[in-house]
A and B are shown apart, each in its own frame.
Chain A
Amino acid sequence: MAFESYEPEQRHKLQAALKTGDITTGELWLRYFSIGGSAGEYEVDAYLQGLFSLPRLERDLLAMAANELLPDGKGPRAPYSDELPPMEPGDG
């Protein structure tokens, strides 16, 4: 399976957090790289556009990077995998 069922939702919410915090892909990638992320900037960009699937750990590191960049208490946070219950096939 190319995408885990909740991956699109996790991605959409990450995008919303980036938009709220006015965080660029470059800024996100640099923080993600700083905390141990191993995907390249182009892969991350492709993931954000829904063109590329990333493993769970990398997706959660991206969420953590975005949340650390967000000002405290401002707007929606990026969710982690364990905060998103898998949907039934065919849903969403």
Chain B
Amino acid sequence: MNRKAPLDELSAAVGRIMGLLLTEEKVNDAVLHLAQGIRQAIPGSIGAGVSLLDVRGNRTSTGFTDEVVAEADRLQYELRQGPCLTAWASEMSIIVPDVATDRRWPEWSSAVWGLPIRSVLSAPLMVGQHALGALKVYADAPNIYDDGTARLLEQFTAPAAILLSHIQGTETVKQISGGLQAALYSRDLVNRACGILLARGSGTAEQALSELMTMARTQQKSLIDVCTDLVAGTAADGR
């Protein structure tokens, strides 16, 4: 008899945040800015990229600073092998001193032969125990990256992973329902106002809520306005 139930929206929102599903459009912006910052921070790099992967290793969004990065990445996911996939799967940083002599990903190494790529460094993006994807930088000369640059890249990963997982969450909620967020905020405000009345000696939470309703009716204000006043400490109720 009515439109989509708000409760269903709430469950969907919570479900998506818990599962860290990706909403592609908005995450891509953040990922691109991140990639640009990484390229500037790590000397010798000709390009940087960020890939977010789902639990099966499928790429869900990506950001890259240069076409050469996009192409090298595309080949990794097409061939299902390469340093970033290994970093993601092993949850460890991967250093490739020279693509030309490295034997770990033979198909990928020969596929990128024509590209100006010799050194690669990739670090996993970890949220808790879960690898969200990988950061990577490429250089056109061998032996550019070492343990020191790996530590530097890793310094980006923790805040980046947290940022990206939060962006996913908030964007998802915004897409599902702005009204629901307002409702949750409002409900929280009412609860805080009830808490203030309880601290002043209103017997139970239900009695506190009844008291707020009486105040709203007496003052001819909305319940939210009454709660806002109370929480802001401007209530002139003289108790």
Contact = CB atoms under 8 A, between A and B. Distances in A.
Contacts of A36: 187, 190-191, 194, 209, 223
Given A35-B224, A57-B209, A57-B210, A30 B179 contact: yes
B36 interface: no
Interface in A45-87: 45, 57, 60-61, 64, 68, 80
Interface string B177-218: 001101100110011001000000000001001100100110
Given A34-B186, A41-B5, A68 B223 contact: yes
B56 interface: no
A30 B2 contact: no
Given A40-B7, A41-B7, A60-B213, A25 B187 contact: no
A34 B223 CA distance: 10
Contacts, number: 61
B106 interface: no
Interface residues of B, number: 25
B103 interface: no
Contacts of A41: 5-7
A64 B223 contact: yes
B18 interface: no
Contacts of A35: 186-187, 190, 223-224
B90 interface: no
A30 B8 CA distance: 12
Contacts of A31: 183
A77 B2 CA distance: 22
B190 to A, nearest CB: 4
B6 A61 contact: no
B213 A26 contact: no
B198 to A, nearest CB: 13
Interface string B3-42: 1111100000000000000000000000000000000000
Contacts of B186: 34-35
Contact of A34 (B1, B187, B213): B187
Contacts of B191: 36
29 contacts: A24-B3, A25-B1, A26-B2, A26-B3, A26-B5, A26-B6, A29-B5, A29-B6, A29-B7, A30-B183, A31-B183, A33-B6, A33-B183, A34-B183, A34-B186, A34-B187, A34-B224, A35-B187, A35-B190, A35-B223, A36-B187, A36-B191, A36-B223, A41-B5, A41-B6, A42-B7, A45-B1, A57-B210, A80-B217
Given A35-B224, A45-B2, A57-B210, 16 more contacts: A25-B1, A26-B6, A30-B179, A30-B180, A33-B187, A34-B187, A34-B190, A36-B190, A41-B5, A41-B6, A45-B1, A57-B206, A61-B209, A61-B213, A64-B223, A80-B217
